[in-house]
Amino acid sequence: MAHLYRPVRSHRDDEVLQEELGRWKLFCLTVSMGGLQITWVTVMAGGSPFLLSLGLPPSLVSLVWLAGPICGAFLQPFIGYKSDACTHRWGRRKPFIIYGAVAAIAGMNLLAWTSECTRAVYYILGVDSEGTIPKILTKIAAIIWVWTINASLQPVQCGLRSLAVDSCPASQQVKTSRMASCMTLIGGVAGYACGFLKMPVPESAGWIHNAHFKGLCVIASTVLGVTVAATCAVMGDRPPMEDMQRRRGVKAVYGEIYKTARILPRRIKMVCLVQGFAWLAWFAFLYYAATYLSKLCTSHPDILGTPTNKTDESTVLYTKMGPPSTRFYNALHEESLRHGTLGVMPFSSVALITNISLPYLIQKARFLSLSRVWMGSHILTSICMFALTTVNNFIIASVCVALVGVSWGLTQWAPFAIIGSEIAASMDDAPPSPSSSRADSPLTQSRDLDVDMEKHTPNQSHIQAMTATTMGVHNIAVSMPQMIAAVLSSCIFAVSGVLHIGETDAMAWVLRLSVVAAGCAGWFTRYVD
């Protein structure tokens, strides 16, 4: 028998719940999603090159990125449940959003300055920083900060998504999801644009390594802090429902999460299935697309501003930097990374345009529906990923990446719109409590309440009381496939090293995983409606 929550809500709470937000509040509610996305873009696009620059092998870097999926699969649902039951004076969502943002900002900047901090410690202790053990400890410190960042962003992401669902009625959920995805995509465009900028570094600061990544982390930290402050200052937060205020142990919490997953509405279950296959494809793309384009960029010297008749990548910056040297190759690496990031920027721009224009197209065209368009976007992703890994041209590859932005725009909007509508509909259908009923006789009140409870199924009562937990279950469906993709990527890199396959070709094989996964996602999207 399904566990039944009977939330106690006042008549005033129902009125507030059904009131739609104005444009200003809707902007403040969703603007933090843009700040969060800039942070993710900084970590995903700049994190892999940064870790490789510390000497970590590609196979180990792939395993390091297991931090995100593992935290998303196991930590975020737990945080979601605790958020549903939180009795903090700031509300249910704000404490997790604020504390998570502070920890993420600290982790990002510590990651960027890992080399300098460890060298300073070694200097104080009188240890040679170029020794084997100091280098290993530096790599371990960087891995710890990557895990810290991923763990800290989970409560921010979960809190912001849940706050959006809590604050809007069912009639406004699609609009809110579209607004949040627009902010997310704007943040992506801004993040990739900042990645192309050349950070100013004084000539006297030659001891600073990876100055470009450090500048990106400062920008991302500032934007995340400002946007989170705006959201928390303007938006209100609802107290927990009566039955959710009981403290539970870890075992009971995960048991409740499992129970919630079992009684989810059919549409939400199908969305989770589709997201599982979709994110099996997205993992490789998000973490390796920019790096893959930068590798292709080095084979096209004209992209880097040198004569086209110089085809050897070792001569790309010869005219600028002189004979090959450490400084020469560092400049080549940084220049190719900047252009690789620039190649990914149209991807976010296309996603933003898709997000703005497609809802109106769906409304005008009667034969289109959200699920059909979502299905088509997965098929487009499969085709473009196949083309991306078969061409050896930077320009054509950038076009393929840009077209994938159509699917990314829908991924940021469609699943959350469907899930949010289902949750908000169960909230709006919730029965009134006896204290909030009209002033009839006790017999009339009891009869009306029994009728309302018969219409309101146990599943609806549970889902509407467990908003953040439901979003956490969805995040498990998103995170588990990424763990599988990370392990497969690591295996591909390891095998490629044994077979002496180049790093660019190895990345191409990793990206080919997305072709089949995206095709499967498109197939199962047929059953969402």
**Domain extents for the chain?**
21-248, 251-306+317-428+461-528
- Please state which architecture CATH assigns to domain 21-248: Up-down Bundle (1.20)
Cβ-contact 108, 42 below 8 angstroms: yes
Helix ranges (H only) for 298-325 are 318-321
Tens digit of each residue's pLDDT (9 = 90 or more) over 337-381: 565 566 677 887 888 888 888 878 877 877 788 888 899 999 999
Whole-number pLDDT of residue 10: 38
Tens digit of each residue's pLDDT (9 = 90 or more) over 14-26: 444 447 788 898 9
Whole-number pLDDT of residue 184: 87
**How far apart are alpha carbons 380 and 521 in whole angstroms?**
11
Helix, strand, coil percentages (3-state) for the chain, rounded to 5, are 80, 0, 20
Task: Tell whether domain 251-306+317-428+461-528 is in CATH 2.40.10.
Answer: no
Tens digit of each residue's pLDDT (9 = 90 or more) over 110-120: 999 988 888 88
**How far apart are alpha carbons 479 and 151 in whole angstroms?**
13
Whole-number pLDDT of residue 351: 87
308: three-class secondary structure by DSSP: coil
Cβ-contact 269, 476 below 8 angstroms: no
Whole-number pLDDT of residue 338: 60
Whole-number pLDDT of residue 201: 60
Whole-number pLDDT of residue 121: 85
Q: Find, among 521, 177, 183, the residue nearest to 374 by Cα.
A: 521
Q: Could you give the angle at which helices 370-388 and 266-297 cross, rounded to 10 degrees?
A: 30
The reply to whether 251-306+317-428+461-528 shares the fold of 21-248 is: yes
Whole-number pLDDT of residue 249: 64
CA 305 to chain centre: 34
User: pLDDT below 70 — which residues of the chain?
Assistant: 1-18, 196, 199-208, 239-250, 297-343, 424-468
Whole-number pLDDT of residue 213: 86
**How far apart are alpha carbons 27 and 32 in whole angstroms?**
9
Whole-number pLDDT of residue 32: 93
Q: Find, among 141, 87, 85, the residue nearest to 116 by Cα.
A: 141
**How far apart are alpha carbons 409 and 377 in whole angstroms?**
9
**How far apart are alpha carbons 378 and 414 in whole angstroms?**
12
Whole-number pLDDT of residue 129: 73
Residues 6+ apart with CB under 8 A from 484: 280
Whole-number pLDDT of residue 231: 93
What would the two tokens of residue 21 be? Answer: 């937000």
Give the CA distances from residue 28 to residues 139, 184, 189, 217, 486, in Å, rounded to whole numbers and listed in that order. 39, 13, 19, 23, 35
Considering the entire predicted model, what is its pTM? 0.70
